[in-house]
Amino acid sequence: MAAAPPVSGPRRNSIRQLLDKALDLTIAPGYTAAGYRLRGLSWEDAIAGGFVRGGVALVTGASSGLGQATCEGLAVAGARVHMLVRNRERGERAREQIVERLGERGVRPELRLELCDLAEPRSIREFASRFTERERELTVLVNNAGVLPPERVRTKEGFELTFATNVVGPFLLTNLLLPALRRGAPSRVVTVTSGGMYAAGLDVDDLQLERRDYAGTRFYAHTKRVQVALTELWAERERGHGIAFFAMHPGWADTPGLARSLPRFHRLLKPALRDAHQGADTIVWLATVAKPPGDSGELWQDRRVRPKHRLPRTREGAAERERLWSELSRLVESPGPEPGAPGK
């Protein structure tokens, strides 16, 4: 019997596109390691782009999971990487692990630890001023740090902990670093959200969900929805300054954070989960690819733009997003740039 003819390039691409669409529609399989493989993605491709080569990157949540993998990827791609951590010891361990791994491929990464507690605005302000004294220009900021606490916790400065870490932290840090990002333009900000946000709509009247009983996954999903809305707002407000803003969700990856926050889910799905590098793939790709094929302000998963909503009830309008900006600015007393304000 004659062998089947090989599948040609364009045909292989259209098969990939159909498969990608099917995985996106069925949601769960696309979030697993199988989804990553079926989409034909690989870490070596993710780190191949030259955008960040010779540039400066800052990655939050660098001591663990996706953040650590992201630092590794950006270092191989040629960036000087600042690893933002809240605990020096854990940060040092993560840095050493990267150095050891990359040593095996003959790469000597440029990695520097930065200490900051993203749940505490005072710590963020101090960090941002230290950082911008040393680094005038920033090429890539990755807002990756995130938590899903088992119970309601108040921070020293009075915020609910999930909200403080996942929303106040990236909002304030990004706004304080906008001048450095403008000076480093073209530059990029990648914010790591979660597929969990598909279940949540914005509640601008009760941003910290103080009127509700605590439920970790619901509070987490709400903060992740806020991150997607913020990405859209930054994209609008910073238009013309050369900074592109992306939200991405990583699928389901086997990280210390997932094991700690959702132990049952983690145990059940462990064999199907992505590893940390597969989870970090689209973060690194967005930070390194010459030109992402999509606009600033979009949501990405597995290197493609995805819908921001899957349920009509979660949709918000532009006016609600603007209220979100005002309310967050009031909360952190950092109004950020006016829409269309000229850059420096």
Q: Show which residues are catalytic.
A: 220
Q: How far does the chain reach from its first CA to its final CA, in angstroms?
A: 69
Q: How far is the CB of 153 from ligand NAP (least distance, A)?
A: 11
Tally of CA atoms within 13 A in the half-sphere of 272 that contains its CB: 14
Structure tokens at 101: 């791994």
Q: How far is the CB of 303 from ligand NAP (least distance, A)?
A: 16
Tell me the C-alpha distance between 303 and 49, whole Å: 13
Pick 69 or 182: Cβ nearer ligand NAP: 69
- With CA atoms as reference, report the closest residue to 66 among 9, 132, 142: 142
Residue 305's SS3 state is strand
Contact string (CB under 6 A) for ligand NAP, positions 255-284, x = contact: xxxx--------------------x-----
230 binds ligand NAP (CB under 6 A): no
Structure tokens at 89: 């010891």
Across the chain, the runs of DSSP E, i.e. the strands, are 56-60, 80-85, 110-115, 140-143, 187-192, 243-248, 299-301, 304-306
Stretch that binds ligand NAP, among 75-83, 86-94, 103-111, 297-305 (CB under 6 A): 86-94
Report yes or no: 56 and 137 within 8 Å, Cβ to Cβ: yes
Contact string (CB under 6 A) for ligand NAP, positions 46-85, x = contact: --------------xx-xxxxx------------------
Pick 159 or 241: Cβ nearer ligand NAP: 159
Pick 65 or 292: Cβ nearer ligand NAP: 65
Contact string (CB under 6 A) for ligand NAP, positions 142-171, x = contact: --xxxx-----------------x------
Q: By the criterion CB under 6 A, which residues form the site for ligand NAP?
A: 60-61, 63-67, 86-87, 90, 117-119, 144-147, 165, 192, 194, 249-250, 252-253, 255-258, 279
